[in-house]
Structures are given as structure tokens and as C-alpha cells.
A and B are shown apart, each in its own frame.
Chain A
Amino acid sequence: MDFDWQHMLIELLVMPTLAFVVGLVMVLMARRLRARIERRVGPPFWQPLWDILKLYSKRTQVSHGHMHEISIIVLLGGMIAMEVFLPVPGFDTFAHHGDALTLIYLMMVPTLGMALGVSACANPNGSIGIARALTAMLAYDVPFIITVAGAAMLYGTTSLPEIIAIQQQQGLEGWGAVQMPLLALAALISMQAMLGKEPFEIYVAPAEIATGPMTEMSGKFLGSMFIMQCFQLYTVSVLYTTLFLGGGENWATFLIKIFVVVAIPMTLTNIFPRYKTEAVVAWLWKWPTAIALVGLFVVMMR
């Protein structure tokens, strides 16, 4: 296999940057949506960027040791690696070398990085938060992995660019959401949990455990968390678009699709209260898993 070094280098730099910029706009959209639902005006356009710059420009920065600092690098590194493997219009050199399984592995890295950092902070709220985050991960990964398995079975491949190509050849009927609606629904629910939004917002829970893993994070550490949030919104929406909405033919349709995908959980989150931890696990292992299993059965019967 011959490598086009120049192209790869450009992709390595451009894709995380793009993901960050799109993620910032997604955060803005989420906050504006929340404001509109509460009949407020909401923040100005540059607010997400101002927040991050402000946090990085803090004069004093409390670090809780080397592990705290390394954890931030692990967390952002995992996220950036994930962005590179996502297929977006025009940039899919790396996506051809990785596949859906690579992404599933990489998706756990940020949470584990966060766990490392929180253990260095030694704050009880943080420990409870990270324990909840890992529990939630156990809960939503079951329906999510069944969904990915179903998609792989339907298209006969786990390579994301190939999945996109197959869907785009067949037009609207070929879209994953049309071919396997049950799996698409299950994935939507586990996406809500993956983003940690109500009713599954157990590990941030500001009123209960003071934002859990972020309790002790200040200045640049909190800023990195905000950046991670941008990446997270982007990753999850691109993955969903790739598997179920035929990916992006060009940047215009691609952006429309990912923003619509993000708007769904961001709207739902404002109308739900929060489940308890054990209720989240029970609920996610019951309903989305059942739906995903039925969906998988339907796919296998074809």
C-alpha cells in the first residue's frame, strides 16, 4: 500500500481542527436550543470560544499532580485520534485504514483518561462521578455494540467509507435508517446516554454531585473538558450519520445531517429529569437492548 504522506499530514492537522470548529457551533446550538425552550435569548455567537479562551487565560492554575496533567493529554489525545478515523467528505485516508471497531475502542479512551485524572484529584464528588460514568459506559455500550454489529452484518463490512459508499449508491432506500429502523432507534437512545444528557445525565449532575469528574478541574483543565465536549458532540453525530444517514455527499448535506442529529438529544435533554444510576443501567439494558436485538434479528432474517 503506498502512502501519500503530504495528504496524510494535511488530514492529521485539518480534521481535528474542523471537528473542533464544528463542535463549537454545536455547543452554541445546544445552548441556544436550551435558551429557546426556556424562553430566553441565549448566549452570543462567540460564547463557547470565549469560555474556552477565558479558562486558558486564568492566572492561577491548580494542578493535582502529574497524573492530573497526563490524564488531560490522554483524554484529548483519544478524542483527536477518533476525529482522524472518522470519514468526512474529502478526507477519508485514515478512515480506510481504521473501521467501526477501531472507533469503538477509541471511544473508551477519553473516559478512562478522565478516570485517571479524577483519581489524582481525590475529590469524593469526582470519584462518585467517574464511577457513574464508567457504569453508564457499561450500560450504553451493550445496545451500541449490537447496533454496530447489525450494521456490519447488513452492509457486509465494518469499513466506514465502504458503508457510506453502499448507502450512497442505493439512494434514500439504502440509508441505514430506512433499512434497519429499529437499530437506528436503539442507536439514537444509546447516543443520548453516550453524550451524558438527561435522562441519562448521571455523571455530571451539577445539583447532586457538583459536576462529578469536573469538580476539581479549573482553568486549563476545565477548558480541555470543554474542548472534549465539542469533540464528543461531533464524533457521535458523525458516527450516527455514517451508519444510518448515508454519510455526507458533500459538506453542505453533511453539515445539515450532523446538526439535525445533534439537535435531537439536545432538545430531549431539556424536557427530562434525571434517572438514578441503577435505573439508567436497568433501562438501557432493557429497552434499547431489546429493540436492538429485535432489529438484529430482522437484519439476520433477510
Chain B
Amino acid sequence: MNQQNFPVQVAPLESCREPGPEERSMLRKVLDRVGQYCQSRSLFVLHYCTGCGAIELPPSMTSRFDLERVGMQPMVTPRQADILLITGYLSVKTLKRVILTYEQMQSPKYVMGFGSCTINGGMYWNSYATVKRLGDYIPVDTYIAGCMPRPEAIQQGFLDLIERIDGGRAVAWKDYYRNYDRYLGHQQHLFGRDWLTPTDVVGEAAHYRLAGDGTLGPHTALLDQYAGYHQAWGVPREQYAELEASS
């Protein structure tokens, strides 16, 4: 990682490292364990229902299968949610919203890809407008195969996720901070090089000591380059052309 080229400074890697299990004090270990257990037993779900799979959610939530038994509750804003449930295919346009939503959620956060569309494009595999692999753009914890998966499969997926959170193995969200450059690269490939989100992921990674080797790179450098030209989104066409020519 070559830091001189980037105006955004991330603290040197050594201090960015999380303390390993053997370095933690006894109290810290106990607290972490309690936290982990509570995180696995209380999950607030944000449904992103643009795909057809959403129709299988009401039966899983209501009296037939009742997911509240395992502590799952629907929530309405990304700030409050733990699980982002992507219920099916995403078009290029809706993927933007998913990324904005994902970045607003508070870690630890989990993403669940729902149906074969999120895995490999499903029956839209040759469509020009849909996203083929969700895992390229945001880190996904669990996929549920099927077109569409039945409530039993959905429940099994949730139970698996709960088990992995309890065991401390559901850490895909850390990957987003550690390898932000790679995810951002895929996003820029779809949305253009001036793609920018309101959440400062690099800053967050540095603040919470989650940065890794792949946090900064050529793609995050583009982020800085275009940030000056942006107010929110969308650079005026002429400016964009100038930039394209100069770079």
C-alpha cells in the first residue's frame, strides 16, 4: 500500500489491528462473549423487497412460522437494522440504493442474499440491467438458494446465520472495511468513476481500527479526485468530460 499518493491518511496498519483473542483481558473476553450472544439472539431485519422473493417473507414472519421466536423483528430504517435482506434480483439502479442503505447500517451488520438471482443472476443471467453477483458489490454473509426459496429454507438460512454470529464467524462486514478498494472498484465499474456515497467508509475504517491492506487503492484515490467536483452526486457533464480527458 502506497500511502503517499492518497490524501486520505489511514493510521499505520499496526495500530489498526484489532486485539487478538489471546491479548484481550478476561473482562473484555466475557463482555465480548455476552455481546456476541445477544447479537445472535436479537436480530432486526431490514427487508429490501424489490425482487419477487419478498412474497415468501410474510409466511415466515407471521403465525405459520413466526420468526419472532428466534428474536427476529422487522425494522424500518437502516440505522436500526442488523440484517439487510436482499430478496431477489437487483437492477443497476436499485443496487445503488442497496449500497447507500448498507453503508448507513451500524456494524456488526449482516447481508443475506435471497434466491438464485443474488447468487449468479438466476433467470435474469443474460439481462443487461441486472446485477449478477451481489457479493461483488457488498459482502454477503449467507445466500439462500432457490427460485424462490420456501419459508423452511429461509428459516434454515436464518438459523445458520444465528449460529455463525454466536460463534463469531459472521464477519463479512469487516471485509467491506478491509477490502473497500475492491468493492468500490466493482461499484465504479457499474456506476462510473465519479461514484460517491455520503458515508466516509475509509474514515470509519480508520476510526474503528478496521482498516486493512485493501482499504486504500487506486479506486479510493478516484474517490478523492472526484470528491472536489461533487456537491452530492452527479458531476455536470462538461466537467466530467474534462476530467475524463485529463486522467
Contacts and interface: CB of A to CB of B under 8 A. Distances in A.
Given A41-B69, A216-B79, A50 B41 contact: yes
B68 interface: yes
B208 A218 contact: no
A53 B38 contact: yes
Interface stretch (A3-11, A32-40, A99-107): A32-40
24 contacts: A31-B68, A35-B68, A40-B66, A40-B68, A40-B69, A44-B71, A47-B41, A50-B42, A50-B71, A51-B42, A53-B34, A54-B35, A54-B82, A57-B34, A60-B107, A61-B106, A210-B76, A211-B77, A214-B80, A215-B79, A216-B79, A218-B79, A218-B80, A219-B106
B35 A217 contact: no
Contacts of B71: 43-44, 47, 50-51
B39 interface: yes
Interface string A104-137: 0000000000000000000000000000000000
Interface string B171-182: 000000000000
Interface of A: 31, 35, 38-44, 46-47, 50-51, 53-54, 57-62, 206-207, 210-211, 214-219, 222
B231 interface: no
Interface of B: 31, 34-35, 37-39, 41-42, 62-63, 66, 68-69, 71, 76-77, 79-80, 82, 106-108, 204, 208
B39 A54 contact: yes
A275 B38 CA distance: 36
Q: Chain A binding site: helix, strand, loop or mixed by DSSP?
A: loop
A188 B210 CA distance: 51
B42 A47 contact: yes
A41 B106 CA distance: 29
Given A35-B68, A59-B208, A211-B80, A53 B35 contact: yes
A62 B106 contact: yes
A239 B70 CA distance: 34
B3 to A, nearest CB: 23
A150 to B, nearest CB: 40
Given A35-B68, A41-B66, A50-B71, A58 B77 contact: no
Contacts of A62: 79, 106
Contacts of B31: 57
B63 A42 contact: no
Contacts of A39: 63
Given A53-B38, A211-B80, A59 B69 contact: no
